[in-house]
C-alpha cells in the first residue's frame, strides 16, 4: 500500500551502518534518525521505509531494524499507521538550535579526538582532514 499523496516516502538508503564499530547497529539507526530530524532532512509525516527494505539495503537482520523502529516509536519519534507502516510522528521536530545539533555530533567527535590522540596526530592535521571530508573531497 502506498502512502497518501501529500506524504513523502523515505528511501531505505536513508541509513548507513558501520560494522567496524562497537556501537550496535540498532543504536546507529536510532542516532542517524535523530540527526536527520535535527537537520530537518526528515520531517513529521514522512513515511519510513519498511523494516524489510532497510534490512535488505543494509544487509542486516530485520529484527535489528525492527528493534530500532520500536525504540524510536517508544520515544515518540515514530508512529505506527495500521496498513501503512511507520511514519515520523507529528510531534517529532528537528531542533534548529545550532548548539543542540552540534551536541548530537559530540559523541562521534569525542571518539575521533581519542583516536587522534592515540595516533599522536596534530589537531591541525585532523581538522584539515575533517574539513576535506565535510567538503566531499
Cell of 77: 519519534
- The pLDDT, as a whole number, for residue 14 is 92
E strand residue ranges, 50-128: 78-81, 85-88
Cell of 127: 581538522
- The pLDDT, as a whole number, for residue 51 is 95
- The pLDDT, as a whole number, for residue 20 is 87
pTM score over 0.85: no
Do residues 88 and 43 make contact, with C-beta atoms less than 8 angstroms apart? Answer: yes
Do residues 91 and 76 make contact, with C-beta atoms less than 8 angstroms apart? Answer: yes
pLDDT-flagged residues of the chain (< 50) = 1, 3
- The pLDDT, as a whole number, for residue 120 is 94
81-117 confidence digits (pLDDT tens): 888 889 999 876 655 677 777 887 888 888 899 999 9
Amino acid at each position: 500500500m502506498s502512502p497518501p499523496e501529500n506524504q513523502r516516502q523515505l528511501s531505505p538508503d536513508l541509513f548507513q551502518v558501520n560494522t567496524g564499530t562497537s556501537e550496535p547497529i540498532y543504536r546507529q539507526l536510532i542516532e542517524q534518525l535523530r540527526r536527520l530530524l535535527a537537520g530537518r532532512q526528515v520531517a513529521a509525516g514522512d513515511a519510513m521505509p519498511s523494516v524489510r527494505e532497510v534490512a535488505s539495503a543494509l544487509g542486516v537482520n530485520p529484527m535489528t531494524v525492527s528493534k530500532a523502529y520500536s525504540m524510536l516509536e517508544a520515544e515518540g519519534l515514530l508512529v505506527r499507521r495500521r496498513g501503512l507502516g511507520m511514519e515520523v510522528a507529528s510531534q517529532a521536530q528537528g531542533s534548529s538550535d545550532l548548539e543542540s545539533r552540534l551536541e548530537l555530533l559530540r559523541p562521534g567527535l569525542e571518539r575521533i579526538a581519542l583516536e587522534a590522540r592515540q595516533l599522536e596526530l596534530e589537531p591541525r592535521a585532523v581538522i584539515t582532514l575533517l574539513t576535506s571530508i565535510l567538503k566531499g573531497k
